[in-house]
Chains A and B, each alone.
Chain A
Amino acid sequence: MRSDAAALRRNGDARGAQLLDDWARRWDAATEDHRVFVSETDALLAGTTRAYLARNRAGWATRGDARVVKRQWYYRRSVLPAPTPASIAREAGRQGLRPPAAVPATEAA
């Protein structure tokens, strides 16, 4: 998509190129969690435990959500739970912001 944008730009269609670039950027951001595989250490930092990873590893590997690279397990970020750290949740409350992991108000009403 980005190469198409570059081609458009070379041919003088700056607006079309800009549209494609924006689209590519949004696609990139929206699918990042699905595309990125994180190491076991990063998965532990995200709030999981080794036991949880070991329990789910086989199923994830079958679906292509976990894989081994150089004897290290990597996990698709989208399958990992992402609990908010307590300090962040507390600060969100203090500053009058919405908690990061809360569901939309309409969904839980």
Chain B
Amino acid sequence: MADRKRITSYGRRGRNLVRVFAETVGGRRYVRAQWSEAPGQPLVTESWPHSAAAVKEARAFAEGVADRLAAGGAPPPPDRTVRELADAYVLAEGEAWAPATRTNFRWRWGRFEAFLGRHTLARLVTTATLDEWRATMQRAGVATNQRALAVGIVKAVFRFAAQPNRKLLATNPLADYRVKLAKGEKRAEVPEWTPAEVRRQRAQLAAERAYRRRRGWRLAAAVDVAATQGPRQGALFHLQWADVNLSGATVRHPTAADVVLPPRSVWWNPAHDKLGAERVQPLSRAAVRALRLARVWRARDDYRGPWVFYRPGAGLRDAGTGAHSARAAARAAAKPDGPVTYQTVLSALQALCRRAVDADGRPVRWVKGRGFHGYRKHAAGEVHRLTGSERAAADWIGDKSIGVVRTHYLKKRAEEQRAVAEGLVLPDAPAAPAVANRNATATTNDTRPRRGKATGAQVTTNHEVSSR
């Protein structure tokens, strides 16, 4: 005979009773939920191999069954799984995505699937599921921003699935779901490199004569180009000499036939743009200077490859020219040509921040995630400061959305706030308060102008004050 032990029950006998119990059959222990769909109907049983998690699941399941029986609902047919929804979403929307967008989507959706399993039916997902998921992500140490982005992805997929012309879901259970952060919890806002910080970094690079050093010119040039032109890091480090026109004449791009480069301009190749957009941008004076110095290094290294920021050691002169040792030549030959890696330049930038100390010996603060994207924000902020136009800032950095630029790129600057504070002067403010003693009576020959009221009225007020 089976050994049975009651765990709990939901509902009422004869109506919607659902029992949860543990049972040992043939030496194996199970946790079971048992109920009847209607009085007189045979019992329905669901079983799990016994474990703490299974007991928890069985309890929740039984509670749900009891709710359904109380409401008199019939079992509906099954429908799509969460994986099928995601696949349908990618099929419909993913064609226009950049590779990075696709990767990010898969990564964030993967966290959702990791939580509830890819075979889970989409119709079982509720707002409670998202609450539970967010709490689990928080416990697992997922950053606040990442949690919000992951929830956004899930909401987008469910919104897509519930569209009337898709009919993948009858209704969208997450339509009204809002992410509310706990008290004290804040989304991390990655700051820009402020003008003061850029000034200190460039001063440090100048003091170290970075442009004259084989190991320093890349960082110096990259900072100057990034801080003024504001490209994305992928585009910056994949910049090729063919994409740059440093001359005073208009030239045609050697490989992209329909691209015309005006004097002192750069073409950002769509192959290395996050959104695959191409644009021609005039070069700032600082960028022209940086690129000219990079060209000097290219000649000095006798580099024949296409990259502006080529990999250190790649393309060094061979032993035959006598400039370097045979060992260096062998090392260079072993190193494949390519642009410098982002990690290399980022490490150099981090080291620069440590060296760029102020008068008090404090280094430039290193914020994780700022890196070269911080210069993109800096460039947008500078354009906004110069023009006062968000449109101009968005156009300069090549972002189509003013809203995105306003929210994520244009940062509040302490210097500008200080300037505003100093510019805020009250109109017609008196030079200094004349009446220090509240008990003193005002005299009729006090004819200094009073703000907002006639002189006579002010005298009356002063009389009132003195009479209290």
A residues apposed to B, CB below 8 Å:
32, 38, 41-47, 81-103, 105, 107-109
Contact = CB atoms under 8 A, between A and B. Distances in A.
Of B62, B116, B133, the most chain A CB neighbours within 10 A belong to: B116
B63 interface: yes
B66 A96 contact: no
A38 B114 CA distance: 9
Query: Interface size for chain B: under 10, 10 to 19, 20 to 34, or 35 or more residues?
Result: 35 or more
A84 B116 contact: yes
Contacts, number: 145
Contact of B74 (A84, A96, A101, A102): A96
Interface stretch (B50-58, B159-167, B209-217): B50-58
Of A83, A97, A98, the most chain B CB neighbours within 10 A belong to: A97
B63 A100 contact: no
B413 to A, nearest CB: 35
Nearest to B23: A108
Nearest to A82: B117
B124 A91 contact: yes
B57 A95 contact: no
B46 A102 contact: yes
Given A38-B114, A85-B115, A96-B75, A90 B47 contact: no
Contacts of A103: 30, 47-49
A93 B60 CA distance: 8
Contact of B61 (A46, A82, A92): A92
Contacts of B74: 96
Nearest to A83: B53
Interface string B352-367: 0000000000000000
A46 B49 contact: no
Given A84-B117, A99-B58, A105-B47, A93 B63 contact: yes
Contacts of A96: 65, 68, 73-76
B129 A44 contact: no
Nearest to A95: B76
B248 interface: no
A103 to B, nearest CB: 5
B114 A45 contact: yes
Given A38-B114, A94-B64, A95-B75, A100 B58 contact: no
B132 A91 contact: no
Given A88-B129, A92-B64, A41 B119 contact: no
B78 interface: yes
Given A41-B111, A45-B142, 15 more contacts: A41-B141, A46-B115, A84-B116, A87-B60, A91-B128, A94-B73, A95-B68, A95-B124, A96-B73, A99-B46, A99-B61, A100-B120, A101-B48, A103-B30, A103-B49
Contact of A101 (B57, B67, B139): B57
A45 B140 contact: yes
Of A44, A86, A91, A101, the most chain B CB neighbours within 10 A belong to: A91
B53 A81 contact: yes
Nearest to B75: A96
B128 to A, nearest CB: 4
B136 interface: yes
A35 to B, nearest CB: 13
B129 A85 contact: yes
B125 interface: yes
Contact of B75 (A43, A46, A83, A97): A97
B439 interface: no
